[in-house]
Structure 1
Amino acid sequence: MPMASYKLHYFDVRGRAELSRYLFLAAGRDFEDNRIPQDGWSNVKPTLVYGQVPVLEVDGKQLAQSNAIARFLAREFEMGKNLAEVVYPKFLGYFEKQLENNGGKYLVGSGLTVADLSVYAVLDTAVQKSETFLEKNEKLRAHRDMVGAIPKIQEYVSNRKKTDI
C-alpha cells in the first residue's frame, strides 16, 4: 500500500500549524509545508474547506482545524509509544525549566496567563490516564495542582463528563 501524501497549508509563521509540523518531524514522515505568503492569501482562501488555515491535505482530501489535524496525525503515525517515551519527557523538561527560570510558580510573568492554562489543558488526557504521569516532574505537578485549584476550573473539571480525550 503506497504511503499517503501530506500537504500542510498555513501562513509563514509557527502558530497553529507548529504542533502538526512537530508531529511529522517526530514521526520522520515527509510532508509538503505550504507556507502561504500574506499577498497570496486571497487566492488560497477560497480553495480551503472552511476558508481558513491550517488545513492538512491527505492524498488531496482536506482536513481542517489544528487540534483535529494533530489528533489525526498522532493516530496516523501511531505516536502513542513515541509520545510516552520521547516527546512527553522532552517537553515536560522544557516546561519545568521554564517554570524554574520564571521563579517556579507561573510559566510566564508573575500571574496566570494563557501559557499556564495551555500546559494544564495539553497534559489533561495524559494525567487523566495515569496518576503517575508527572511523578518525575515535581515543579510541573505543583503548577498543575495550582491551576487545578482555581475554584471555577476545579468545579468545571470535577463536574465535566468523563471522556477519553
Structure 2
Amino acid sequence: MANSKITLNYFDIKGRAEIIRLVLTWAGKDFVDNRISREDWPALKPKSPFGQLPYVEIDGKVYGQSLAISNFFAREFNLYGKSNLDGLIIDQVAQLTEDFIQEIVKVIRAADPETKAANQKKVQEEAAPKFWGFYEKLLKESSGQYFVGDEVTLADLIAFDVVTGFVSDFTLPLPDSYPLLTALVETIGNNDNIKAYKAKQQ
C-alpha cells in the first residue's frame, strides 16, 4: 500500500468521503482527491462500481462504499486497534455515527419546509446531544484519552469528522458539557497533517 496510487472520487463537499480523506491524511498517504462537479457526475457515473459516490481507485482498480473504504484504509495504516475487541469498539463508534447520520438524512430529504424545520430542531435538541453523549460515555470507559486507549484509531477520526464535518452543518456547536469529546476533537485537529489539510480546504 505504501507505493499504491490512490484516487478518491467524490463531490467537492465533505459528506461521505471526508472520513476517507481524514484517514489517508492522518496516515500521511498521498492520494488524488478528485472532486467531481455535479454537472460532470452523470457522465462519470457508469465508471463507478455501484452508480454512486464516493469510490476509490487503487492501482487502477475501482472499489465503492464509504464505510468499506474507510475501514480498509484504517486497517492498512494501523488505525483499527490491535485486537478484535479493539475493532468492536471502533465498529460501535462507526455504527453509532451511521445512526446519527440517518437523523440528518431526515432533514435533507424532508418533503416540505415545515417538516424540514421540525426535523432540524429534533437533530439540534435531541439527536445531537444523545449521540455526543454516547461518544462521551465510550471515552469515559476507555483506558486512555482515545476510544481505544492511548492510540488514535478510526473511531477518533470518525468522532472528529462528526464534530467538524458535514454533520456539524445540522447541529449546534459542541458544548463544553462533553469535555472528553471536546479534548479529542482538539487533539486530532492539532495534528500537523490534519491542520495542513484543513488549511487547504478553507
CA distance in 1, matches of 2:56, 2:49: 10
Query: Retained in 1: the 8 A contact 2:9–2:33?
Result: yes
CA shift for structure 1 position 117: 3.5
In structure 2, do the counterparts of structure 1 residues 11 and 59 end up closer, same or farther at CA, with 3 Å as the change threshold? same
Q: In 2 relative to 1, CA 5–36 (structure 1 residues): closer, same or farther, beyond 3 Å?
A: same
Name the structure 2 match of 1:133. 142
| 1:38 equivalenced with 2:38 (yes/no) | yes
Confirm whether residue 6 of structure 1 aligns to residue 6 of structure 2. yes
Instruction: Go from structure 1 to structure 2 and tell me whether the alpha carbon gap of 1:116 and 1:33 turns closer, same or farther (over 3 Å shift).
Output: farther
Assess if the C-alpha contact under 8 Å between 2:63 and 2:69 holds in 1: yes
Give the TM-score taking structure 2 as reference length. 0.46
Question: 1:118, CA displacement in angstroms?
Answer: 7.6
SS at match of 2:39: helix
1:18-97 alignment runs, 5 A limit: 18-80=18-80
SS of aligned partner of 1:112:
helix
The separation in 2 between residues aligned to 1:2 and 1:142, in whole angstroms, is 33
**Pair 1:112-2:126 in alignment:** yes
**Distance of 1:18 and 1:72 partners within structure 2:** 15
The Cα offsets for residues 47-91 of structure 1, whole Å up to 9 and x where unpaired, read as 11001000011111122111111100101111246xx9xxx9xxx
Residues 4 and 58 in structure 2, CA contact (< 8 A), matched pair in contact too: yes
Sort the Cα spacing of 1:136 and 1:68 in 2 relative to 1 into closer, same or farther, 3 A.
closer
SS at match of 2:40: helix
CA distance in 2, matches of 1:119, 1:66: 25
Distance 1:132 1:119, change over 3 A: closer
Between the aligned partners of 2:27 and 2:61, the Cα distance in structure 1 is 21
Shift in CA distance, 72/135, structure 1 to aligned 2, threshold 3 Å: closer
1:115 and 1:60 map into 2 onto residues whose CA distance is: 42
Q: Residues 136 and 21 from structure 1, CA distance in 2 versus in 1: closer, same or farther, beyond 3 angstroms?
A: closer
Q: Deviations over 1:17-72 (max 9, x none)?
A: 00000011100000001100111011110111001000011111122111111100
Q: Give 1:113 shift.
A: 2.0
- Report the 3-state secondary structure (helix = DSSP H, G, I; strand = E; otherwise coil) of the residue aligned with 2:68: helix
TM-score by length of structure 1 reads 0.55
Amino acid at match of 1:45: K
Over the aligned positions, Cα root-mean-square deviation in angstroms equals 3.9
Q: Which has the higher contact order (CA 8 A, sep 6+)?
A: 2
Contact 1:134-1:141 at 8 Å conserved across structures: no
- Tell me, which stretches of 5 or more residues in structure 1 are unaligned? 89-107, 144-165
Q: How high is the sequence identity, in percent, across the aligned residues?
A: 35
What corresponds to 1:152 in structure 2? none
